Amino acid sequence: MSLRTPDLLFTAIAPAIWGSTYIVTTQYLPNFSPMTVAMLRALPAGLLLVMIVRQIPTGIWWMRIFILGALNISLFWSLLFISVYRLPGGVAATVGAVQPLMVVFISAALLGSPIRLM
């Protein structure tokens, strides 16, 4: 299977932007509060989603959106940027990269989930 160059470039954009979070936060945005940086990071994606999906959620979806927004976006990104402000960029990036492995081991210990390679 061959990838076209534009597809490869678009695929590389998301990890490059995500990986730049730590260096940009520690080097270029020291005058802002961590909460402001978290808001500036999440706001463009949220506005883009509002423009793309032009349908108002109904019923139970409002509660699901609230929980997802409160836990995954607000809490996670706020804590992420607070830690990036207090740690060197490389340490924060390493901790962020190891996070999926920590989730695997914690879920195995607490929930009894088996650890499989594939």
Q: Would 79 be classed as within a structural domain?
A: yes
Q: 2-38, pLDDT tens digit by residue?
A: 667 778 887 888 778 777 777 777 776 667 777 777 7
Given this model, what pLDDT does residue 57 score? 80
Report field, pTM of the whole predicted structure over 0.85: no
In this structure, the dihedral spanned by the alpha carbons of residues 63, 68, 69 and 70, taken in order and rounded to 10 degrees, is: 90
Q: Would 27 be classed as within a structural domain?
A: yes
Q: Would 100 be classed as within a structural domain?
A: no
Residue 51 has pLDDT above 80, yes or no: yes
Number of domains in the chain: 1
User: Which residue range forms the structural domain that includes residue 67?
Assistant: 5-87
Q: Would 102 be classed as within a structural domain?
A: no
Q: Would 59 be classed as within a structural domain?
A: yes
Q: 54-97, pLDDT tens digit by residue?
A: 778 888 988 888 888 888 777 887 888 788 778 887 787 788 78
**What 3-state DSSP class applies to 31?**
coil
Q: Would 93 be classed as within a structural domain?
A: no
Q: Would 69 be classed as within a structural domain?
A: yes
